[in-house]
């Protein structure tokens, strides 16, 4: 079991590698499009970083095939604060809910999958080129020090977040 103390409220966040609406997987729109447009080609194999094994480009191997191209996020079950991890499992950024976000233009748009959906996707073990038919849990727009998260692609209903400068980031 992995644990983290929420940077805002101090609540213990515990993740048991089982879906519980704690962990989310985020891909930029460009990275997700790249994932969805790949498939295993036995005549032209892409090898992993070790050079020993071919990349299978299946939903069960996404995290290995695209290491460094997605972020893991933990959401505090008490206050909703989002903790973004780097690929070395260190907290990279923390965002807190904020109602006063001036939305000018997104610098990046992406998709986010709740752990229940992500577990289902990776358990299906389907070819990556079939993933484009799966609707993500959320759409994410980011700009400067803000995030907006929406269940709809048109961002008609959003939750707003602001970068929270915790002690470890100063």
pLDDT of residue 69: 92
Q: pLDDT digits over 112-160, tens only?
A: 999 999 999 999 999 999 999 999 999 999 887 889 999 999 888 889 9
Question: What is the pLDDT at residue 73?
Answer: 95
Dist CA 134 CA 153 (whole Å): 13
What is the total residue count of the chain? 170
Q: What is the pTM of this model?
A: 0.89
CB under 8 A, 24+ apart: contacts of 159-163: 159/97, 160/97, 160/98, 160/99, 160/100, 160/101, 161/82, 161/95, 161/96, 161/97, 161/98, 161/101, 162/95, 162/96, 162/98, 162/101, 163/93, 163/94, 163/95
The residues, any chain, with a CB within 8 Å of residue 106's CB and separated by 6 or more, are 141, 142, 143, 148
Q: How far apart are CA 32 and CA 115, in angstroms?
A: 16
């Amino acid at each position: 079991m992995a644990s983290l103390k929420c940077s805002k409220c101090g609540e213990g966040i515990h993740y048991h590698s089982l879906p519980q609406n704690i962990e989310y997987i985020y891909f930029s729109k460009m990275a997700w499009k790249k994932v969805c447009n790949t498939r295993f080609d036995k005549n032209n194999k892409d090898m992993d970083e070790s050079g020993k094994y071919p990349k299978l480009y299946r939903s069960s191997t996404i995290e290995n095939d695209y290491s460094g191209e997605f972020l893991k996020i933990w959401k505090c079950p008490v206050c909703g604060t989002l903790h973004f991890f780097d690929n070395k499992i260190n907290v990279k950024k923390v965002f807190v809910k904020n109602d006063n976000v001036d939305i000018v233009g997104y610098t990046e748009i992406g998709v986010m999958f709740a752990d229940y959906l992500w577990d289902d996707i990776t358990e299906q073990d389907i070819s990556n080129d079939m993933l484009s038919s799966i609707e993500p849990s959320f759409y994410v727009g980011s700009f400067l020090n803000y995030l907006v998260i929406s269940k709809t692609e048109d961002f008609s209903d959003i939750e707003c977040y602001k970068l929270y400068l915790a002690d470890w980031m100063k």
